[in-house]
């Protein structure tokens, strides 16, 4: 039985063309024309006059954002609780202390009310990480307004939301810096890589400088800063260029998967889909379900059933950061009694969202879930 994936790479052909060019011209390393072309093409795609720096990973882009914003020992950084650990790890690399902010129900992203509350408790916070979970844009205007009022910069982790727009503008272009990830399971992939995005060319130049061992402009190797080896290779950039051509196509297919699940489960009261933001056009990177409170079928049961009956890969919702052993000493800010992010974690599941899924694959997955709820 074939494997049905959560979200695996989908290649087209142009990728190999760009990689072949890199080999033919021996621009296999170190840098080369694909890297600068990708930076230009990604900046053009994102629009709004941004610049980009091509790096080895989205995580590296978050780390260099920390360096550029001067985040250091003992600084407070706010992060949504419901995210992947890579959002916040780079703050810890720099000795900063994360404080986790609960989710709201409307988009599953950082709750502006909880954020406001966190600012009261930690007025000296140095940066706010904003994430667009599973591709659904956060309440960007509300979050930016609060951060602007407090004059605190936003690092926009748009690793999951490349091609999602908010009020017509691409996510990744709203923060002081933005993050693109080209990791293997994202909406497009370079096999692994990322970019840092900024409206300020100085920021991206600084990112590129730090990413290439922070070498001073001198005849010999001289260093006035601690550098990193975070630059994207020319081969990897070739794959990314070939993928970028197809991003809108990938987005349309992801949206179709979401619509298909939503329609298929519309008569099952216990199932709702991950929410959309009315101000946004999401890329639907992963389609997720949320089971009603007290539902007799658990997410784990559905996950096991999809594995056994369909050979299909599903995945729990990101386990919230305040529940992670490694962050057990970090503060967590919520507005009410209930921990919303923990609730979504407990009741949610990411369904197979691979754009190569056939109609038969989707029918099999949907039929298996429906059967669990006693529906034909
Ligand atoms: C994937 C991901 C990252 C990390 O990107 P990499 O390119 O894998 O380093 C960061 N944040 C979020 C929310 C992600 O999903």
User: 182 and 258 share a domain?
Assistant: no
- Read off the pLDDT band of 310 (50, 70, 90): very high
If you measure from the C-alpha of residue 160 to the centroid of ligand 1, how many angstroms do you get, rounded to a whole number? 7
| Residue 8, domain member (yes or no) | no
Q: Quick one: tokens of 155?
A: 């690092």
Asked which of 226, 244, 262 is the last residue of a domain, the reply is 244
User: 347 and 269 share a domain?
Assistant: yes
Range 276-301 average pLDDT: 98
CA–chain centroid gap for 193, Å, is 13
Whole-number pLDDT of residue 130: 98
Closest atom of ligand 1 to 58 CA is: 7
Whole-number pLDDT of residue 324: 98
Whole-number pLDDT of residue 376: 87
pLDDT higher than threshold 80 for residue 151: yes
Give the range of the structural domain holding residue 211, as residue numbers without chain letter.
14-244
Whole-number pLDDT of residue 41: 98
If you measure from the C-alpha of residue 368 to the centroid of ligand 1, how many angstroms do you get, rounded to a whole number? 30
Domains: count for the chain: 2
- Read off the pLDDT band of 28 (50, 70, 90): confident
| Residue 367, domain member (yes or no) | yes
Range 283-305 average pLDDT: 98
- Read off the pLDDT band of 335 (50, 70, 90): very high
Whole-number pLDDT of residue 163: 98
Whole-number pLDDT of residue 120: 98
User: 255 and 229 share a domain?
Assistant: no
Q: Cα–Cα distances in Å, from 153 out to 110, 177, 217?
A: 15, 9, 29
Sheet containing 165-166: which strands, arranged edge to edge? 169-170, 165-166, 280-281
Whole-number pLDDT of residue 361: 98
| Residue 174, domain member (yes or no) | yes
pLDDT higher than threshold 80 for residue 55: yes
Asked which of 196, 226, 244 is the last residue of a domain, the reply is 244
Whole-number pLDDT of residue 1: 86
Contacts of the segment 266-272: beta carbons below 8 A, 24+ positions apart: 267/375, 268/370, 268/373, 268/375, 270/295, 270/297, 270/373, 271/369, 271/373
| Residue 3, domain member (yes or no) | no
29-38, 67-76, 365-374: range with lowest mean pLDDT: 29-38
Q: Pocket around ligand 1: residues whose beta carbon is below 6 Å from it? A: 57-59, 83-84, 86-87, 131, 157, 159-160, 181, 183, 194
- 0.85 surpassed by pTM: yes
| Residue 107, domain member (yes or no) | yes
pLDDT higher than threshold 90 for residue 98: yes
171-199 core/surface letters (b: 16 or more CB in 10 A; e: else): bbbbbbbbbbbbbebbbbbbebbbbbbbb
User: 287 and 205 share a domain?
Assistant: no
Whole-number pLDDT of residue 373: 97
Q: Determine the residue of 79, 80, 84, 98 to mutate for testing ligand 1's pocket, defined as the one with the most ligand atoms within 8 A of the Cβ atom.
A: 84
The residues pairing with 19 across neighbouring beta strands, listed in sequence order, are none
Helix axes 359-372, 247-264, angle to 10 degrees: 30
The residues pairing with 224 across neighbouring beta strands, listed in sequence order, are none
pLDDT higher than threshold 90 for residue 333: yes
The residues pairing with 291 across neighbouring beta strands, listed in sequence order, are 271
User: 212 and 258 share a domain?
Assistant: no
Look at ligand 1, atom 8, and give the residue with the nearest C-alpha. 183
What CATH number should be reported for the domain holding residue 83? 3.40.640.10
Asked which of 244, 264, 289 is the last residue of a domain, the reply is 244
Closest atom of ligand 1 to 181 CA is: 7
pLDDT higher than threshold 80 for residue 341: yes
User: 69 and 210 share a domain?
Assistant: yes
pLDDT higher than threshold 90 for residue 260: yes
pLDDT tens digit sequence for 198-240: 999 999 999 999 999 999 999 999 999 999 999 999 999 999 9
pLDDT tens digit sequence for 165-207: 999 999 999 999 999 999 999 999 999 999 999 999 999 999 9
Mean of pLDDT over the chain: 97
Look at ligand 1, atom 1, and give the residue with the nearest C-alpha. 159
Residue 39 has phi, psi (to 5 degrees) of -60, -40
Range 84-107 average pLDDT: 98
User: 212 and 135 share a domain?
Assistant: yes
Q: Are 273 and 261 in contact (CB under 8 A)?
A: yes
């Amino acid at each position: 039985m074939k494997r049905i994936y959560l979200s695996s790479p989908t290649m087209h052909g142009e990728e190999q063309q760009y990689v072949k060019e890199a080999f033919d011209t021996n621009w296999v390393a170190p840098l080369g024309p694909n890297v600068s072309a990708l930076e230009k093409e990604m900046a053009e795609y994102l629009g709004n006059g941004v610049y980009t720096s091509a790096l080895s990973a989205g995580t590296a882009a978050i780390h260099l954002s920390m360096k550029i914003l001067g985040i250091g020992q003992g600084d407070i950084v706010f992060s949504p609780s419901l995210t992947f650990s890579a959002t916040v790890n780079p703050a810890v690399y720099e000795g900063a202390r994360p404080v986790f902010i609960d989710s709201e129900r409307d988009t599953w992203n950082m709750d502006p009310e909880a954020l406001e509350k966190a600012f009261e408790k930690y007025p000296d916070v140095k940066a706010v990480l904003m994430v667009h979970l599973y591709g659904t844009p956060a309440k960007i205007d509300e979050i930016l307004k609060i951060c602007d009022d407090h004059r605190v910069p936003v690092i926009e982790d748009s690793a999951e939301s490349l091609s999602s727009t908010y009020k017509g503008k691409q996510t990744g272009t709203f923060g002081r810096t933005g993050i693109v990830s080209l990791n293997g399971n994202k909406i497009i992939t370079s096999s692994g890589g990322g970019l840092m995005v900024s409206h300020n060319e100085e920021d991206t130049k600084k990112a590129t400088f730090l990413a290439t061992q922070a070498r001073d402009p001198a005849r010999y190797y001289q260093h006035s800063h601690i550098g990193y080896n975070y630059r994207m290779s020319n081969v990897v950039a070739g794959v990314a260029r070939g993928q970028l051509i197809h991003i809108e196509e990938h987005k349309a297919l992801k949206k179709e998967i979401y619509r298909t699940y939503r329609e298929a489960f519309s008569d099952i009261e216990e199932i709702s889909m991950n929410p959309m933001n009315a101000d946004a056009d999401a890329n639907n990177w992963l389609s997720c379900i949320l089971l009603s409170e007290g539902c007799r079928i658990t997410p784990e049961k559905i996950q096991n059933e999809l594995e056994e009956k369909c050979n299909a890969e599903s995945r729990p919702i990101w386990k919230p950061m305040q529940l992670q052993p490694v962050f057990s000493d970090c503060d967590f800010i919520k507005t009410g009694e209930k921990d919303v992010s923990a609730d979504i974690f407990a009741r949610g599941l990411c369904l197979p969202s691979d754009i190569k899924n056939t109609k038969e694959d989707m029918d099999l997955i949907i039929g298996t879930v429906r059967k669990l709820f006693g529906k034909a």
